[in-house]
A and B are shown apart, each in its own frame.
Chain A
Amino acid sequence: MPLVTPWSRFVQRQADSAAWQRWTCLGLLAPTALVAATTDAGFLANLLLIIVSALAADAIAAWLRGISPGAVLADYSALSFALMFALTLAAEAPWWLGMSGAVFGLFIAKQAFGGHGEYLFQPLAAAYVFTRLGFPEFSGPSLMDTATAALCADIPATALIALALLTGALPLLILKAVDWRIPGVVFLTLILSLALSRSIDPPLWAFNTIIFTAQPSLLLVILFVATDPVTSPVTARGRSLFALLIALPMAVGAWTVDLTTAMAIVLLANFLTPLIDLMCRPRIFGHQNRGSVFLD
């Protein structure tokens, strides 16, 4: 007999964190399919390998921690990690690179920190930076950015992938699974920097900023990695500040920012998240100040 708990009647109709992860996976299906269509079968084999190793790493780590592996896999976070990680790999990446990245991301960056909800650094960003630093010889641009085979007559494949990513993130924004402020502030900062730079050196900056924001791998970082609620601050103000911290180096770096830099920027911002949370903690109703400072 299943355990049934009576609870607030509203809970059922409300948000569900596992559903959010399912939506993330669904949103990543279209970009993955587009990348698969523009590359060879090696990508699909790699994707399968990454998924299997990610799920296995998550389950084994859970088992080692004494938690039911089924319950850990049921939140779909390992699957969404695997889908995103496969998209970020370079064309020349050997089969074991994706596998080792997935194992690092889930075993070290996620489970060693206490599992979903407890990690300090976004596992995808950590895994990506790990593979880049550990194996620099395979650090070419990701498959998303190098998808050249034209699917339609006039539209480049990268633009289609970027569009698919944007559409995939839309349900998450509507469900409030991710805070709109993070992508919102990042895009706003980039647009403002574009407007500013146009007045300084019109032709060069305008062109580069547009190309830059349309890069699918950077969209992936902005929409899916930076917005991870676990590693972003918890208050609205904190999230805006966090997004500004991510956007400013991107705006300054402009066209020199690639996927590796973006991931590193997110990791640095994750590093500051506890501090931002502390600085932006709200004033409790009826109290004059924010109370004493306690760091975790």
Chain B
Amino acid sequence: MIVNKRLLLRAKHGAFSRAGGMKLTSTKAAALRCGISSMPPPPRLFLEVADHRSRPAALLVKAGDKVRKFQQLSRTVDLSQAPVFSPLSATVAAISRDAHTRRTTIRLDILASDENAESETLPPLTDYGSLTAAQITERIAILGVSGLGGRGMPVAHKLAAAKKRRVQQLIINAVESDPDISADEAMIRERSKAVVEGARILQRASSAERCGIAISKEKKAAIAALRAALAGSDIELLILPTHYPLGEEHRLIYALFGTETAPSASILDAGFLCFNAATAHAVALAVNRGEPMISRIVSVDGPTPLRPQNCEVLFGTPIWHLLEVCGADPAQKDRTLINGSMRGQLLENTQAVVHSGVRGVRILDASELLQSDELERNCINCGHCVSACPVNLQPQALFRASRARDTFQLAALGLEDCIDCGLCDQVCPSHLPLRDYFGAGRSEMRLWQGSVDRADHFRNRFDAHQARAERKLRRPQSVALAARQSDSKTEFSRTSAKAEIAAAVARVKARRAERAEDQGSPRKDDD
């Protein structure tokens, strides 16, 4: 184990402390007082399967089926989507698809029986060292491991993208700089060995030259656990100061290595690969034990009577059920935030469930609510947001452009590079909901980009059509004549025509059958 002390030094005097960001008051202590608590299984689970491109998800079960723990419920077309597994033995009560959100929900009624089912998909493994990188990636893909850092991208998808490029540095991100989420920290305290194991597996799978676990220095217990687990290993422990939003991968890489990477670009281009610590843990479970990903640790925080804690929650558990189990007051549930107060969203869907992207749930205290006389005022150009922005954007200008729906200006001001950290929102003296404005600006940009793409597509089609027509016109007379003659030479025969038609019909039928088997949908893919 190598502890990089230089980093701390650089962190004190280095460039990144000047480039925005902030030290925030942490409220993690309450949830970290006790260890990870496991939640009793809820009576019902609602597993969501997103559409793949324009196709509804390919399900392997139908309503009324009995499924066992770890049974695979959906199939995927490529690596960009992870399959879904049943977290417990259950009955499939209903399957419904929401055309608006383009998600299929599988309702599972939990059976009170066999808890200790084994993975059906893959047997446990004694030594992953015998596998090649591609085999490890395949195993991860089959077991549906997704990133647990918030975006929920399938790990195998990221690894496949990394395969095409040379990864110099793999980073296991345990920084968790949000002030009120402590899920990773609680996990590392108890399961540091599995995290380190996951880091090794990921290093092997990505063929990274170096691997480091990044963590901020205030997580003392977690650092001690990691030190113990890392003894004798060549994985680096990268200790960073407490600073928000250092957990964001582009900021993290800048703080660690001084390499600036544009937040709108992938860090892979610079030779870095980053996974969340909880993801590394899930990878270790999947590769070594053959367990698909069915649960995650969620940080629950809020005012009394809620008991702040870190809970291991099965995917598909309704968030309100989780809050009830943790003792939340039902009257307060309408002010629930998902994923922390800085980057989070207000929970408006009462049926929302825990999935791989839910890191923390937080009920806001009455004193943390903005009152009606503190609502949005005019932007006065004070510049606090400009000095707070860790990526040097100009939030006040972005706000005006978003309000004016000026997509050119939004693009020029670099909205794509916004990391959505919420610091501008926090410092704004006029209480402008800047993150909301930027969200609206982003969708405006998407619409604009869509219309541009559509226009390009049809322009290209038209140009191609024109070119074809022109070629036809310009075709030399002799060639055209020869073609006509060769057409007339082949004599029309009733039998050969019949045979051709029959062959074509058979081809179409075969293709249809194949597609129906593959997708369970007759719709034609339009990409």
A: residues with CB less than 8 A from B are: 2-12, 14-20, 74-75, 115-118, 176-177, 179, 229-232, 234-236, 239, 281-287, 291-292, 294, 296
Q: How far is the CB of A157 from chain B (nearest CB, A)?
A: 33
Which listed residue, A5, A19, A20, A294, touches B370 by the CB 8 Å rule?
A5
Closest to B366 in A: A4
Cβ-defined partner of B262 (8 Å) among A9, A285, A294: A285
Find B377's partner among A18, A177, A179, A285 (CB 8 Å cutoff): A18
We find that the number of chain B residues with CB closer than 8 angstroms to chain A is 61
Q: B268 near A: Cβ within 8 Å?
A: no
Asked, given contacts A17-B429, A285-B250, A292-B412, whether A12 binds B368 with beta carbons under 8 Å apart, the answer is yes
Cα A241 to Cα B344 with chains together (Å): 38
CA A294 – CA B394 in complex, angstroms?
13
B392 near A282: Cβ-Cβ < 8 Å: yes
B346, A294: Cβ atoms closer than 8 Å = no
Return the CB mask of B378-412 against A: 1 if under 8 Å, else 0.
Answer: 11111110110011111011001000000011001
Whether A12 pairs with B412 at a CB distance below 8 angstroms is no
* Contact status B377-A11, CB under 8 Å: no
10 more A-B residue pairs beyond the given contacts A17-B430, A287-B262, A287-B417, with a C-beta to C-beta distance below 8 A: A3-B375, A4-B369, A15-B382, A116-B377, A117-B430, A234-B386, A284-B392, A286-B263, A291-B412, A294-B408
A-B contact pairs, 19 of them (CB 8 A): A2-B371, A3-B372, A8-B341, A8-B426, A10-B25, A11-B370, A14-B428, A75-B377, A116-B380, A231-B381, A234-B394, A234-B397, A282-B386, A283-B392, A285-B390, A286-B262, A286-B264, A286-B265, A296-B400
Chain B residues with CB under 8 A of A230: 380-381
Q: Across the interface, do A234 and B396 meet the contact criterion of CB distance under 8 Å?
A: yes
Beta-carbon contact of A17 and B382 below 8 Å: yes
Residues of A within 8 A of B25 (CB): 10
Q: Complex Cα distance A231/B382, Å? A: 10
Give the residue of A5, A6, A75, A229 whose beta carbon is less than 8 angstroms from that of B382.
Answer: A229
Q: Which residues of B contact A75 (CB under 8 A)?
A: 377-378
Closest A residue to B383 by CB, please name it. A234
Q: Does B290 sit within 8 A of A, measured CB to CB? A: no
A255 CB → nearest B CB, Å:
33
> Could you tell me if B386 and A235 are in contact, using CB atoms closer than 8 angstroms?
yes
Chain B residues with Cβ below 8 Å from A19 are: 429
Q: Which of B260, B369, B414, B427 contacts A14 (CB 8 A)?
A: B427
Task: Flag whether B373 is at the interface (Cβ < 8 A).
Answer: yes
Contact across chains for B426 and A10 when beta carbons are under 8 A apart: yes
In contact, B383 and A229 (Cβ under 8 angstroms): yes
Show the binding face of B for A, using Cβ within 8 Å.
Answer: 19, 24-25, 180, 250, 254, 260-265, 335, 337, 341-342, 346, 364-365, 367-375, 377-384, 386-387, 390-394, 396-397, 400, 408-409, 412-414, 417, 422, 425-431, 433
State whether A294 touches B409 (Cβ < 8 A).
yes
Which residues of B lie under 8 Å from residue A287 when comparing CB positions?
A: 262, 414, 417
CA distance A19 to B374 in the complex (A): 11
Contact B383 A6 (CB under 8 A): no
Partner of A236, one of B387, B393, B396: B387
A2 surroundings in chain B (CB, below 8 A): 371-373
Q: Which of A5, A7, A8, A286 contacts B391 (CB 8 A)?
A: A286
Judged by DSSP, the binding face of B is loop
Minimum C-beta distance from A18 to chain B (A): 7
Whether the Cβ atoms of B426 and A286 lie closer than 8 Å is: no
Residues of A within 8 A of B392 (CB): 282-285
Q: Which residue of B lies closest to A284 (CB)?
A: B414
- Docked complex Cα distance between A157 and B39 (Å): 73
Chain A residues within 8 Å of B394, by CB = 234-235, 281-282
Cβ–Cβ < 8 Å partners of A7 in chain B: 368-370, 431, 433
CB pair B386–A9 under 8 Å, yes or no, is no
* Residue among A10, A232, A296 making CB contact with B341, cutoff 8 Å: A10
Q: In the complex, what residue of chain B is closest to A10 when comparing beta carbons?
A: B426
CA separation between A12 and B384, bound complex, in Å?
Answer: 15
CB of A8 within 8 A of CB of B342, answer yes
**Given A230-B380, A234-B383: A74 in contact with B373 (beta carbons within 8 A):** yes
Q: Complex formed: what's the CA distance from A116 to B262 in Å?
A: 35
Choose one: B264, B346, B365, B425; the contact of A11 (CB below 8 Å).
Answer: B425
B261: chain A residues at CB < 8 Å are 286
Among B394, B429, B430, the most chain A Cβ lie within 10 Å of the Cβ of: B429
Contact between chains at A12 and B370 (CB < 8 Å): yes
Which residues of B are found within 8 Å of A231, using beta-carbon distances? 381
B397: chain A residues at CB < 8 Å are: 234
Nearest CB in chain A: distance from B247 CB, A: 16
- The answer for the CA separation of A294 and B401 in the assembled complex, in Å, is 11
CB contacts (< 8 Å) of B417 on chain A: these are 284-287
Q: Which 4 A-B pairs have the closest CB atoms?
A: A286-B262, A117-B378, A15-B429, A285-B391
A267→B513 CA distance, assembly (Å): 77
Q: Judge whether A6 and B337 touch: CB under 8 Å.
A: yes
Q: Are B373 and A285 in contact (CB under 8 A)?
A: no
Q: A234-B396, A286-B391, A291-B414 known; A9 and B380 CB under 8 Å? A: no
Q: In the complex, which residues of chain B have a beta carbon less than 8 angstroms from the beta carbon of A283?
A: 392
Q: How far is the CA of A37 from the CA of B157 in the complex (A)?
A: 77
Residues of B within 8 A of A116 (CB): 377-378, 380
- Max chain B C-beta neighbours (<10 A), residue from A116, A179, A282, A283: A282
A159 CA to B486 CA, complexed, in Å: 108
Who on chain B is nearest to A176 by CB? B384
Which residues of the partner chain B approach A229 to less than 8 Å between Cβ atoms? Answer: 380-383
A9-B378 in contact (CB<8A): no
Q: Is the pair A12, B260 in contact by a Cβ cutoff of 8 Å?
A: no
In the complex, A181→B210 CA distance in Å?
45
Residues of B close to A74: CB separation below 8 A: 373
The residue of chain B having its C-beta at the shortest distance from the C-beta of A1 within the complex is B372
A234/B370 in contact, CB under 8 A: no
Distance to closest chain A CB from B135 (angstroms): 35
Query: In the complex, which residues of chain A have a beta carbon less than 8 angstroms from the beta carbon of B337?
Result: 6
CB-CB under 8 A from B370, the residues of chain A are 4-7, 11-12
Across the interface, B426 reaches (CB within 8 A) one of A4, A14, A118, A239, namely A14
Interface centre among A9, A229, A230, A283 (most CB of B within 10 A): A9
Are the C-beta atoms of B380 and A117 separated by less than 8 Å? yes
Minimal Cβ-Cβ distance residue in A for B376: A5
Cα-based distance from A20 to B374 in the complex (angstroms) = 14
Q: How far is the CA of A282 from the CA of B388 in the complex (A)?
A: 13
Contact of A234 among B19, B374, B381 (CB under 8 A): B381
Which residues does chain B contribute within 8 Å of A118, judged by CB atoms? 378
Q: Which chain B residues lie closer than 8 Å to A5 at the CB level? A: 369-370, 375
